[in-house]
Structure 1
Amino acid sequence: MECRIISIGNELLIGDTVNTNASWLSDVLTEIGIDVTHIYTIGDDLNTMKNILSEALSSTDLIVTTGGLGPTHDDITKRAVAELFDCDLVLEDSVLEFIKKVFKKRNIPFSKSNYHQAEIPDCCEVLFNTQGTAPGMWFDRGSVKLAVLPGVPHEMKHLVNEKLIPKVRAINGDTEFRRSHYITTAGIGESTLSDEIVGPLGDVLPNHVSVAYLPSTQGTKIRISAYGNSDKEIDERIDPVRNHIREKAEKYIIGEGKDLNLEKAVGDLLVERDLSLSVAESCTGGYLANAITDVPGSSRYLMGGLIAYANQVKVNQLGVLSDDLNSHGAVSKPVALQMAKGVAYQLNADIGVSTTGIAGPGGGTEEKPVGTVWIGFWSQEEHFALKARFTNDRLINKERSSAIALEIIRRSILGIEEMPYGFKKHQA
């Protein structure tokens, strides 16, 4: 079964909104054996919408649209579909009643334009949306099915999970489906991991299995995907590849699973070892603490943090020596070391970590260019710092500094002496 996804909205084309719906939909549909062959992003233009839909209706099995179902003048998806199928828009009483209840509950006036959200083409099945005021629609055109969904992500996902997937499964039957397994690595770049660590996969890569490297500022996820008629068959195809990669890249692997990240892996280790953590941040400005506290239950191990941006805060709150600031500068090994130890002592934590650097885009010198960062680590067992040279992009520097800080926490807890690829310890 082939599918085309059509994302609708001027805000997507001009960059006001990132089109996360299409990537999420592609992932979900692929997992249940649907081949997504095209993804369109179009504006709120009636003729464009009708032309794209007409072309898709003659070329595929399933079409899914998102967006354009709101109450304002630019929400014209229903009109386009109704005109294309020569249907009338009729008021759906159950939808109108639900919308009125939602507005009353939120103490929001019900305007005339909101009635339009309860108008539905009379040639479709209503996909009732309990998460919002824009209902979805299902059109059965014989060999082609069309699902028209709202663009609000949580509403769209609700309708996909509750309505669309059961319908597609019923149509598609027991066809071969696809599943992916993810191995998450940290402290190493994509090309080095692929070329030097894992190496060629030709001898262990069977038919129906593919491998992809998905880089981010935290590291690289390895996605192993396979088709099969059952979970057992897919496991049998994935396992040889998975085992090969685990053997080759063991020291860089933080765990397995699509949603696993460094902050979750570090949090699990801290809980397992009953350790507490505190952070002192300068160049990251709270980014590291924010990542750590994104994990539910992080209050079990994070004592707190201090954003020591100004030098006097480093001195007064963390005990950094003024002489070291004057002679070495804030972006230096001595300062990073003292910040890490100082925050651990101040907040009574087992581990202290610090970041101090030049995030950019200005402020760099020939000796310390933009992207220069020192990351400090302290525990009762060891005290060291790492020096990094990242990019000229402020946000990327904050992201990478936080990722390296998390990775050295993980490695230190596990007793892994080797630091992330390309880094070395500078002992206190």
Structure 2
Amino acid sequence: MKAQIITIGDEILIGQTIDTNSAWMGTRLNEMGYLVDKITTISDDREAIETHVKWALGSCNLLILTGGLGPTRDDITKVTLCELFGGKLIRNQEVEERIVSFFTKLNRPVLEVNRMQADLPSNCTMLPNLLGTAPGMLWEIDGTTVVSMPGVPYEMKKIFSDQLVPYLQSNKTSEIIVRHKNLLTVGIGESSLAEEIKDIEDDIYNSGFRLAYLPNPGSVKLRISYNGKENPESVEQRLNQFAKRIATRVAQYYVGEGEKAITKLIGKQLVAHQLTVGVVESCSGGYIAHQFTKEEGCSQYFKGGMVVYSNELKEKLIGVDAHAIKEFGAVSESVAEQLAEKGRIKLGVDYCIATTGVAGPTGGTNEKPVGLVYTSVSGPQGTRVFKNNYGGTRNRIVERASIGLLNELLKMLQSDIA
């Protein structure tokens, strides 16, 4: 089954707002067996909405629109779709009561423009919005399910999960299945990885499956996909076989399976063995701490960290030997080692990771060029220091160094636990 997504909003087109809704919906729809073959962003314009909806009708089984359902004059999606599908706006008492209750709880007046959000097309199915004032709407038009939802992410996700998913599951008729398996590798480039597994990739394509390379700074995600009518159990079995062959072939770079970030995999290991981690960051400036705190439940294993950018704070807060900084420099193996070892004690954690380097674009020398980064991991079994030279922009150097360090932490964890 094919699905298309249309996001509506001038704020997206001018870069004021980033469209995260489409990525989220694309993931959910693929999990449900839909193949998303087009995502389009258009302006808050009646002609644009009509044109793109007409193009989509008949070419997909499911069309989802987000945005343009607010109470202001520029929000024209509802009126446009109502006219396009031959309905008329009728006030829905249930929705109006919910809107009045919503504003009453906030101790705010209910304006007529707010009540007008309860005016719904007569020929649509209303999808309740329990987190906002604009409900979703659903039509069945010439074999295409058309859905319009608010552009506010948390409202859209609630309607999608609670209202749309059950509807689609109860009306699903296609025998096409879509399956994916994601593998994460760290420390090997896209081209080198492709060369390592080219025979496996040939087998994947010859079996009716597909392989995609999704590179990020410091890591490459592989996605093995299937879209067809084969037996689901057989498809899962072959996906697992291909994944196992790749994991074995590139074992030294292989991190794990699934959509999970490397910090999620680390957290899972730490929680399972009641261990904790902390960070001491210089050149990464808090980036690694942020990667940990993005994960739900991180308080179970992540105690915190310090950003010690200046030499003064490296000495005062962590206890780095001033003589080491004077003799070897802040960007050195000795300082990196002390940051992790002494940071582990200061933070009272089982494992501590640290960074110190020259992220650029200035500050480099012939001896210590931009991109030189020392990272370190300290745990119950000892400390390891890593020296790398990364290319690219300041942000890219920080990202690559951080992902590489997290991978080394994961390796140490797995080794210690084993």
Normalising by the residue count of structure 1, what TM-score does the alignment of the two structures yield?
Answer: 0.88
Q: What SS class does the counterpart of residue 133 from structure 1 fall into?
A: coil
1:351 paired residue number:
351
Determine the C-alpha separation between the residues in 2 that align with 1:47 and 1:235.
44
1:334-369, CA deviations, whole angstroms, 9 ceiling, x for partnerless residues?
Answer: 211121122122233333321112233333334333
Give the match for residue 370 of structure 1. 370
Secondary structure of 1:251's aligned partner: coil
The 2-side partners of 1:8 and 1:277 are apart by 43
Provide closer, same or farther for how the CA distance between residues 378 and 172 of structure 1 changes in structure 2, counting only shifts above 3 A: closer
Following the alignment from structure 2 to structure 1, what is the Cα–Cα distance between the partners of residues 196 and 91?
63
Cα distance, 1:205 vs structure 2: 4.5
Shift of 1:215: 2.0
Could you tell me whether the CA contact under 8 Å between 1:2 and 1:34 is conserved in 2? yes
1:145 matched to which residue of 2?
145
Distance 1:269 1:59 in 2: 46
Q: Which amino acid aligns with 1:360?
A: G
Structure 1 runs not aligned, ≥5 long: 417-428
In the alignment, which residue of structure 2 is the partner of 1:231?
232
Shift of 1:395: 2.9
Partner residue of 1:156? Answer: 156
Q: Which runs of 5+ in 2 are unaligned?
A: none
The answer for the alignment partner of 2:249 in structure 1 is 248
Range that drifts further, 65-74 or 201-210: 201-210
Q: Distance in 1 between matches of 2:287 and 2:258?
A: 24
RMSD (CA atoms): 2.4
Letter in 2 for 1:222: L
Q: Which residue identity does 2:349 align to in structure 1?
A: A
Q: Which residue in 2 is equivalent to 1:105?
A: 105
| 1:132 to 1:361, Cα distance in 2 relative to 1, 3 A | farther
**Counterpart mapping for 1:235-314 below 5 A:** 235-258=236-259, 260-314=260-314
CA contact under 8 A between 2:255 and 2:407: conserved in structure 1?
no
**Offset, 1:66:** 0.9
* Cα distance in structure 2, aligned partners of 1:3 and 1:270: 39
- 1:217 lines up with 2:217 in the alignment: yes
- Distance in 2, Cα, partners of 1:30 & 1:350: 39
8 Å contact from structure 2 (residues 209, 224) kept in 1: yes
Corresponding residue of 2:82: 82
For residues 156-195 of structure 1, the aligned pairs below 5 Å read 156-195=156-195
Contact map agreement 2:7 2:66 (CA 8 A) in 1:
yes
> Is the contact between residue 7 and residue 42 of structure 1 (CA under 8 Å) also seen in structure 2?
yes
> What corresponds to 2:415 in structure 1?
415
Residue number in structure 1 paired with 2:22:
22
Please report how far the alpha carbon of residue 274 of structure 1 lies from its aligned counterpart in structure 2 after TM superposition: 4.2
1:106-127 per-position Cα deviation (integer Å, ceiling 9, x unaligned): 3333223212211111121111
For 2:54 and 2:375, locate their aligned partners in 1 and report how far apart those are by CA, in whole Å: 57
CA offsets per residue over residues 152-186 of structure 1, 9 Å max, x none? Answer: 22222222233333333444315121121222222
Evaluate the alpha carbon distance shift between residue 208 and residue 198 of structure 1 in structure 2; reply closer, same or farther with a 3 A threshold: closer
Kept in 2, the 8 Å contact 1:280–1:307? The answer is yes
Correspondence for 2:382: 382
The 3 A distance-change label for structure 1 pair 236 and 409 is closer
CA positional deviation for 1:212: 1.6
Q: Give the corresponding residue for 1:400.
A: 400
Supply the distance in 1 between the matched residues of 2:115 and 2:54 (Cα, whole angstroms). 28
Q: Percent identity?
A: 36
* Cα distance in 2, alignment partners of residues 345 and 34 from structure 1: 51
Distance 2:278 2:364 in 1: 28
Residues 1:316 and 1:37: Cα distance change in structure 2 (over 3 Å): closer
Q: CA deviation at 1:62?
A: 2.9
Q: Is the 8 A contact 1:198 1:249 kept in 2?
A: no
Evaluate the alpha carbon distance shift between residue 74 and residue 353 of structure 1 in structure 2; reply closer, same or farther with a 3 A threshold. same
Letter in 2 for 1:249: V
Q: Secondary structure at the match of 2:348?
A: coil
CA distance in 2, matches of 1:376, 1:156: 42
Q: Distance in 1 between matches of 2:197 and 2:411?
A: 18
C-alpha contact (below 8 Å) 1:33/1:175 kept by paired residues: no
Comparing 17-26 and 225-234, the one that deviates more: 225-234
Count matched residues.
Answer: 415
- Residue 313 of structure 1: CA displacement? 1.0
Q: How far does residue 230 in structure 1 lie from its aligned partner after superposition? A: 4.9
Answering whether residue 9 of structure 2 is matched by residue 13 of structure 1, we say: no
Cα deviation, residue 303, structure 1: 3.9
Residue pair 1:206, 1:237 contacting (<8 A) in 2 also: no
CA distance in 2, matches of 1:177, 1:196: 29
- Counterpart of 1:242, as a letter, is A
The answer to whether the 8 Å contact 2:200/2:242 transfers is: no
Larger mean CA deviation between 240-249 and 384-393 belongs to: 384-393
Q: Relative to structure 1, is the Cα distance of residues 225 and 322 closer, same or farther in structure 2, using a 3 angstrom cutoff?
A: same
Residue matched to 1:41: 41
- CA pair 168-207 structure 1, distance change in 2 beyond 3 A: farther
The alpha-carbon distance between structure 1 residues 56 and 293, as it changes in their structure 2 partners (threshold 3 A), is closer
From the superposition, tell whether residues 56 and 373 of structure 1 become closer, same or farther in structure 2 (CA, over 3 Å). Answer: same
- Tell me the secondary structure at the aligned position of residue 325 of structure 1: helix
Structure 1 position 200, deviation (Å): 4.2
**After TM superposition, which residue ranges in structure 1, 4 or more long, deviate above 4 angstroms?**
197-200
Superposed, 1:309-324 pairs within 5 Å as 309-324=309-324
Asked if structure 2 preserves the Cα contact closer than 8 Å seen for 1:180 and 1:225, the reply is yes
Letter in 2 for 1:101: S
